[in-house]
Amino acid sequence: MKNNTLTGIQVTPVEKSKIDQVDFENLIFGQVFTDHMLVCDYVDGEWQRPEIIPYQSIQLDPSARVFHYGQAIFEGMKAYKDDQDDIWLFRPDENYIRFNKSSKRLAIPEFPEDYFFEGLKSIVQLEKDWAKKGRGNSLYLRPFVIATESSLVAAPSTHYKFMIICSPAKSYYAGEVRVKIAESFSRAADGGVGYAKAAGNYAAQFYPTNLAKEKGFQQIIWTDANSHEYLEEAGTMNIFFRIEDTLLTAPNNDRILDGVTRKSIIKLAEDKGINVEVRKIAVKEIVEAAENNTLKEIFGSGTAAVINPIAGFSYKEKEYNLPHVEDSYAGHLKKALMDIQYNISEDKFGWRYKI
Ligand SMILES: Cc1ncc(COP(=O)(O)O)c(C=O)c1O
């Protein structure tokens, strides 16, 4: 049976939901998917109408270009359910802008705005029971595009598939995070694709991150590719440093992902009267601050964890531990951000988007 959602996207519903088989208390990030997915193909030079169908495998020719040349980009965002059962997205306009920035850099045709937002609304409305109430619970949304044309020619595809898949998530706690500052490997280069959410950026991090893990570190803090003297971002997070009472973060450039959480934290911190400096941060400065005990906090920011405090770092075989800080900036800012996301506090900046 086919029917239509309010927004007019055609929906082919599953015969029976699998929601009863899911243990929502013990979710591992990104492993359980909802009943449906949104698909939209690019053929004949245009994006066709999006459709919602039961979640299923897709079939591609082995020569599909995504497999050989990595022409693929994605976004990561969350839907939050409040105590009245209303569902909210957080600054989805920012994800949409970044989605098309990434697409443009990877020579993928940009995705129409109304399809993106109609698509998000329709799939989230349909899967609303998968978003559970309670702080930390969310429905993680993964819009992405892959190049589907069958051909080994190293050139942009003429066919693409856009999809949105949804995965229920619990609050993400990475445990005590210790990081290694990159001294030789790089995540991104000047003029490259670091600012895009290109699939290959993540694959390229796996090997150096594995080496760091073997030494007991969970993540790498990436430094600039030219000198390795300046701190840029960490794994799938942007990064903040607190020296005395000043919060520091690196400015965006073409190597760094322009994080939605990062820009929201800067705004919230300034609003709370915290002194924020967006400027180049030398490794040397952080090492010195750790040595003279003025380095109070380091934390990563991103959609998955919101804010992830970092307990210590290593640089040139030396390890540095962060002090335990009561009333941390990380704690205050995380609470302020989540209160907005879960419709608990006033939305002073107009960041919430109702589904
Ligand atoms: C490389 C990288 N940096 C930073 C972030 C944080 O961005 P956001 O706050 O938009 O999730 C992400 C996650 O999306 C990422 O993949």
Count Cα neighbours of 35 within 13 Å in the Cβ-side half-sphere: 19
Closest to 119 in 3D by CA, of 36, 3, 7, 4: 7
CB 61 within 8 A of CB 147: no
Whether 94 lines ligand 1, by a CB cut-off of 6 Å, is no
How far is residue 60's CA from residue 228's CA, in Å, rounded to a whole number?
40
How far, rounded to the nearest angstrom, does the alpha carbon of residue 226 sit from its chain's CA centroid? 26
Largest CA distance in the chain: 68
Which pLDDT tens digit goes with each residue over 1-37?
444 444 589 999 999 999 999 999 999 999 999 999 9
The atom number, within ligand 1, closest to the CA of 261 reads 9
The sign of the torsion formed by the CA atoms of 243, 247, 251, 256 equals positive
Amino acid 173: pLDDT: 64
How far is residue 64's CA from residue 157's CA, in Å, rounded to a whole number?
9
Closest to 224 in 3D by CA, of 277, 186, 179: 186
Q: Which of 237, 258, 263 to mutate to test the pocket of ligand 1 (most atoms within 8 A of CB)?
A: 237
Ligand 1 centroid–CA 302 distance in Å is 5
Ligand 1 centroid–CA 236 distance in Å is 5
Amino acid 174: pLDDT: 65
The per-residue pLDDT of the chain, averaged, comes to 94
CB 216 within 8 A of CB 204: no
Looking at residue 114, the DSSP 8-state letter turns out to be H
Which pLDDT tens digit goes with each residue over 190-232?
999 999 999 999 999 999 999 999 999 999 999 999 999 999 9
How far is residue 113's CA from residue 273's CA, in Å, rounded to a whole number?
35
> What are the b/e assignments for 87-109, b being 16+ CB within 10 Å?
bbbbbbebbbebbbbbbebbebb
Closest to 219 in 3D by CA, of 231, 211, 227, 230: 211
Q: Which of 144, 222, 238 to mutate to test the pocket of ligand 1 (most atoms within 8 A of CB)?
A: 238
CB 325 within 8 A of CB 63: no
Q: Is 23 exposed, middle or buried (0-12, 13-18, 19+ CB in 10 A)?
A: exposed
Instruction: Supply the residue whose CA is at minimum distance from atom 1 of ligand 1.
Output: 236
How far, rounded to the nearest angstrom, does the alpha carbon of residue 149 sit from its chain's CA centroid? 27
Q: How many CB atoms lie within 10 A of CB 191?
A: 8
The atom number, within ligand 1, closest to the CA of 94 reads 10
Amino acid 305: pLDDT: 86
CB 127 within 8 A of CB 157: no
Amino acid 327: pLDDT: 92
Given the DSSP bridges, would you call strands 246-249 and 275-278 parallel, antiparallel or unpaired?
A: parallel
Q: Tell me the domains of the chain and their CATH numbers.
A: 10-169 (3.30.470.10), 177-341 (3.20.10.10)
Whether 237 lines ligand 1, by a CB cut-off of 6 Å, is yes
pLDDT (tens, 9 = 90+) of the chain, 355 residues, equals 444 444 589 999 999 999 999 999 999 999 999 999 999 999 999 999 999 999 999 999 999 999 999 999 999 999 999 999 999 999 999 999 999 999 999 999 999 999 999 999 999 999 999 999 999 999 999 999 999 999 999 999 999 999 999 999 997 766 778 999 999 999 999 999 999 999 999 999 999 999 999 999 999 999 999 999 999 999 889 999 999 999 999 999 999 999 999 999 999 999 999 999 999 999 999 999 999 999 999 999 999 889 999 999 999 999 999 998 889 999 999 999 999 999 999 999 999 999 9
How far is residue 98's CA from residue 160's CA, in Å, rounded to a whole number?
18
